[in-house]
Structure 1
Amino acid sequence: MIIQSYIKKFISNNSFQKVLIYGFYITFIGVNIIAMMVDSISGSYTSLKVEALTVFVSSLVFLYTHKTQNLTFGTYGVWVGPIALYVLIIFSDFVYWNFYFTLLIPLAFYTLFPFRSSFIQTGIHFLIVIILMIIGYYTTENNFLHDVDSLSAFVISIIFMVAFGIFYHANLENSYNKLYKSNQQKEILLKEVHHRVKNNLNILGSIFGLQAMREQEHTKDILLQNKLKIESMSMVHEMLYKHNDFSNIDFYQYTKTLSSHMIDLFEKKDTNVIIDSNKVEFPLEIMLKIGLMLNEMLTNSMKYAKNDTSLTIEISCQGNDKGYTLIYRDNGKNKLDIQKLQNSKGIGIKLINLTSKELDGELSIDYKNGLQYKLNFRDGLQLCIA
């Protein structure tokens, strides 16, 4: 069960090509180890030496591919198998069963290489096999190489393998084209959905804005804060339909867009926002919650943080072994009572605390030459289901 679970996790977390390459090397090395055991029992020491060398070289290629993640090197490294088989044919006096093993080699080429390249590799492989057959014909009395029926069956098998490759790649290309067309249609639909959601949220925000113009100061402030929350969610959908990746949103780009919007809205042109994140991306559900938190934090800094020079806001989000750490800090000089802030009945701090719990996070608030929020949370869609 543990091995099965590990295999499923490996397949789901890696590309199709990487899974095929790793599968080939593990299978190939395993088969050769079994062959070594059989040959050691039967006393076929020549084959045993070739197989031992094959296992050694294949293991080196596999380890190098795994360490460097150079899949191109790993793909062409499968030639270790055919070369080992050619050597085995020569040192085993061109026995017929080794020639039949050569018919299996194109299967690796068809699955690991694209259409054109796979047939070039297959052509080179069978050309070498034919050369070996000619050499064996003139240098040995092997019945297989001198028997017309056996040779005819072998040639027919070669033709069959080539035909199989043609049909395999033709079917693969047809399936790929259908899948590509289907994905394009889904992308268009998703873009339209996110575009409409964004427009609907903007309409709601505009309604709040218009209503705020007619209300008293306290009510106006509440309506404008709700308008900002809606706009922070609208930006998430806007970024999704403007980019081809519908699964994740770049934290840096989103935070940069949101902070620029807040600076314009509060007319704080001298505010400096520093964002530190190294290619951190989140799915829609998580980014919506982070956006609401950042909206509240930015609003509080813009409205209440006081500084003799200019306001500086630092926002950092980095991944680690346990998930992610989000740090928000401003350089406001007004000393705050942290205990009073945490126990405040204001909607803003309540929203920040609630959202951090929905992310299964640990939130700490401190004052270090300015207000600082630090949130440690785990990554996972299941954490975002309220």
Structure 2
Amino acid sequence: MELKPPFKKIIHVDMDAFYASVEQLDNPDLRDKPLAVGGSGKRGVISAASYEARKFGVRSAMSGVLARQKCPHLIFVPPRFERYKEISTEIRKIFHEYSDLVEPLSLDEAYIDVTENKKGNPSASMIAEEIRQKIWDKLELRASAGISINKFIAKVASDINKPNGQKTINPEEVLDFLEQLPVNKFYGVGKVTAAKMYNFGIFTGLDLKNKTIEELVNLFGKSGAHYYNIVRGISKSVVKPNRIRKSVAAERTFFDNISSEVFLMEKLSKIADELERRLVKSDTKGKTVTLKIKYSDFTMQTRSKTGLNFLQQKEEFLPIVKELLYQEKLQNSVRLVGISFSNLNTEKREPVFIQLKFDF
């Protein structure tokens, strides 16, 4: 099967070690040193690691304790999300010089549809180079990029020549590229799904392609149809400049595990204060309240309740949180709790971008 034109020209830009790079930018003493953004304490979690730290095996989402073991001279700095957001805004301004079809995924990455662009440049690869150079010239930060016919392939391609590089998968190269790609490199295929694929003899895109859609749906449910299409270069997902946030959340990891509902409610009350502040600031309300509980054995549990009215004030939703907490007994001691709102009023109007904070 051959892919038929017309083809989209999609760029995925991914900033290199963004949070850590910003810290090194603002503090020259940190440059060329192994750096982690996050907490070094017992419950600290790494939010980002510089490439100097990555050489020692330090990665994002790793515990601060393990990161310290891997790199004893690792430098820890607390996150400054307002600063990251400020720089992210400047980066997006550069994107918009080329296209209004910009879809941010987070503060440090975005899709850009340059099929029809403001510069009249037919080469998406050249545009990606210009964007990366402008980011460096203006902000002294490095970015990598992937360029291809859809978001999925562009996302995969942006990781190939990291850091400070780019990769273009031209239309005529797409099918061969996907067939040779290891399934664990497919965007959206995590460790659990990859392991399941291995058990069924699926190691590469070609192995995936040799499965019928019925087989894949049987093995992976609705995701099976997605895998069937993407390995054939088929994706209906377009760049959406108005991505609407589906939820707003706040959570906290505790220094010591908590086993008492009474003590948990004290923590949840403080989390509710922060959540209310975010909701009011963004003029966001929600109908569905979800309580997230992570136990000391790292098992996760969520409990939700949906009402008829949109809620925003702490006094309105904290009683619901309490009801959810006491809905059933705790399964174990608790290391993290969080509250989130979904079913938002923003789903019917202009999008709201909210940068969530993390506790370290």
Q: Which has the larger share of strand? A: 2
**Do both proteins adopt the same fold according to a TM-score greater than 0.5, normalized to the shorter chain?**
no
TMscore range, shorter length = under 0.3
Higher relative contact order (CA 8 A, sep 6+): 2
Instruction: Provide the TM-score with structure 2 as the length reference.
Output: 0.21
Q: Which has the larger share of helix? A: 1
Structure number, greater radius of gyration:
1
